[in-house]
Amino acid sequence: MPKPVLKIALDVPLDRLFDYLSGGQSVEIGQRVLVPFGRSSQIGIIMGKADTSDFPIEKLKPIAQIFADEAPIDIETLNLIKFSADYYQYPFGQALLSALPARLRQIAPAVSRKQYAYQLTDFGRAQTIEQIPKRQLVTRRVFEALQAAELITEAALDAISSSARKVAKHLVAQGWASSQQVQATIKTLETSAAIEPQLNEEQALAVQRITQEAQIFKPWLIHGITGSGKTEVYMRLMQHILQQENAQILVLVPEINLTPQLESRFRSRFANISLVSLHSNLSESERLHHWQLAQSGSAKIIIGTRLSIFTPLPNLKLIIIDEEHDGSYKQQDSMRYHARDIALVRAKRLNIPVVLGSATPALESWHNATANKYNLLSLNQRAVTAAQLPNIECIDTTKVNLQQGLTPQLIAALKLRLARKEQSLLFINRRGYSPVLLCTACHWIAPCMRCSSRLVVHLGQRKLRCHHCGHEQKIPQQCPSCGDADLHPTGHGTQRLEQTLAQLLPNARIARVDRDSISRKNALVEILDKVHNQEIDILVGTQMLAKGHDFPNLTLVGVIDTDSALHSPDFRASERLFAQLMQVAGRAGRADKAGQVIIQTQFPEHVLFNALRSQDYVSYANAMLQEREQVQFPPYVFMALLRAEANDFALVQQFLNHAFKLARGFNADVTVYDPIRPQMERLKGMERGHILMQTANRTALQKLLRNLVAELRGQTIAAKVRWTVDVDPLEF
């Protein structure tokens, strides 16, 4: 007889499972079901079966529906999410359901998107490529592919470009091509399509050492300077692992904009291997389809952002974490997990290797490497033999006359690149036209009424906009404080820099890359294609251009206005700035042309810039670790934040004072600091505060948090505020 009581996880803010009756139906652990919950219905996941319940059996409700055609989630994945929910003090049901594609959280059978293939019509075969404008590069490539093959699948189109499907549909609309629904097919391992470059000694040694121990859990940290060929090392490791039958590989990237370029390189090298990507730029149906291919074991290579770490992978044999230092791997709302740390846990449980790569490893990772917890591999030379590290020069902006925010040296360097028909990148980590609107009479600065921040000028839209909460308002005609009409945009953002360059260099082809300019799907891919096709002379962008991209003809990088991070109260600010500048400097001179980096700063002799000029991450990291040890900051201690917010700060204060007394009473091994307000005191209209807890004993911290969270849940005072626990926080 089947056990009648089912233990089911639901997407509710209660850290418990719920009992339902199976109704005699055959069910499996990990299966998706629909159950009545209060006056509505909820999607749940079966976590266990039992003969008895703590509640009277006659009061239990039967499940409403079993989605029997869907594969259940495997036990390994369920246990990984359970561990994460426990460690990060988050309700398990909410953690589990949020890790699933949106279609699996909806009350409907999860149906994958239909697959299509394309072929030329008789009318299309009669056309020639000369009829397609030369600027429409993707259209020309798709047309050539259709001419060369009888039938082109969507997977083959993806290998051409991320916008190739859209182009194929346009050709269908024009009558040049036709489409037909096909069964999704998965290709098997064959000879690689792309030519493999010759490995240098350091790359070859890294591949050899990891492959020799590829059958056991071992964390490897590849510290490779920018352009040292870390991606090539990844691909050689993947080739080795894929020789195992049915092996799967998970490659984590920090941000969506890195996915298309890496995916393109992998598809080129592994032309006959099934590869899927998982990120938020996919449609719901695409994400479900890719997730199901991964879950079934059909997809062999999975490239994804942080949430991909929870994807069910039955044959996972290797995890690669690219740009492992990046803060984007840390979730900043809901369950505040760190994908890198979860990846290490998952690899250890499966007894498989995990490879972390970065030019500027996180100090936590560098500490683990120097303490021999990770195996360190260094790549100190650029992969392209002729490529050299760029020359880095810091210009003292207090000693030169700036021309609309640019030094004469940087302007001259830009003109030289234009004359040589080489490309330049100007990096400024501020989008918008100007960071503040200033009244020259009374020094009023336009504030955001919902946040403790200033409104940013977006001149093209004639708007002031908050980059924290999204609030917008028109630019005032006169100062609201004193009535003076002399209001000035002060400081530079990407839009103002783009406008300045257009005035100084009218013949230059300029493109801006920030969150505003690439909001349209595939906009970034199109800009990057233009860069590679030499259709852009100068790129102006924020941190999304700082890492991962390879532009062979880019020889100049200019860095505008980075000094604010040097004096930030955040102890991680200088570490982030150093990593950011090393990454952006690494975009220059990656091929056989010499690169130059010009940094505009008021503090050219700062220790950070001295380390940057010599490209000496090791000395800088060791000095930073020594400093952290002296002041007892991570990685030498473990931290957690209890955050709270409400419309009324009195409620926040009341809650935090109560929590502070509870925490102080639980554990003497953990230092519990007095409640304080964060740097951003008000965000999105909510008043904020937090309590910092710190200890050298991770177990003691977890014990305190378990007791504290259990005590706070369900209390009246806790229901009046929005509160969360952030374990191993990156932001304060």
* pLDDT single digits (tens) 208-257: 999 999 999 999 999 988 878 899 999 999 999 999 999 999 999 998 87
User: Has residue 113 got a pLDDT over 70?
Assistant: no
Q: d(Cα 192, Cα 204) in Å, to the nearest integer?
A: 18
The 10s digit of each residue's pLDDT in 430-479 is: 666 667 788 888 888 888 888 988 888 887 778 898 888 888 999 898 99
In 575-622, DSSP assigns E strands to 596-601
Q: Which helix (H) or strand (E) holds 499?
A: helix 494-504
Element (H or E) spanning 511, and its range? strand 510-513
Tens digit of pLDDT for each residue in 407-425? 999 999 999 999 999 999 9
Give the angle subtended at the CA of 80 by the CAs of 77 and 83, to the nearest 5°: 150
Question: What average pLDDT does the structure give for the chain?
Answer: 88
Q: What are 599-617's pLDDT values in tens digits?
A: 999 889 888 999 888 888 9
Q: Which of 477, 515, 489 is nearest to 437 (CA)?
A: 489
CATH of 391-434+491-565+573-611, one of 3.30.70.20, 3.50.50.60, 3.30.360.10, 3.40.50.300: 3.40.50.300
5-105 to CATH, choices 1.10.3110.10, 3.40.1440.60, 3.40.50.720, 3.40.190.10:
3.40.1440.60
Three-class DSSP category at 357: strand
Q: Look at residue 609 and give its three-state secondary structure.
A: helix
Could you tell me the pTM of the whole model?
A: 0.85
Domain boundaries, the chain: 5-105, 115-182, 201-379, 391-434+491-565+573-611, 638-727
For the structural domain made of 638-727, what CATH number should be given? 3.30.70.600
- Higher pLDDT pick, 41 / 732: 41
User: Do the Cβ atoms of 117 and 180 come closer than 8 Å?
Assistant: yes
In CATH terms, the superfamily for domain 201-379 is: P-loop containing nucleotide triphosphate hydrolases (3.40.50.300)
Q: Which two tokens stand for residue 549?
A: 């991209």
DSSP-derived secondary structure for 529-558: HHHHTT--SEEEE-GGGSSS---TTEEEEE
Q: What is the pLDDT of residues 686-724, one digit of tens each?
A: 999 999 999 999 999 999 999 999 999 888 888 899 999
Domains 201-379 and 391-434+491-565+573-611 share a fold: yes
| Of 524, 513, 515, 519, nearest in space to 162 by CA | 524
The CA–CA distances, whole Å, from 257 to 217, 225, 303, 419, 523 equal 30, 21, 12, 30, 10
262 versus 307: the higher-pLDDT residue is 307
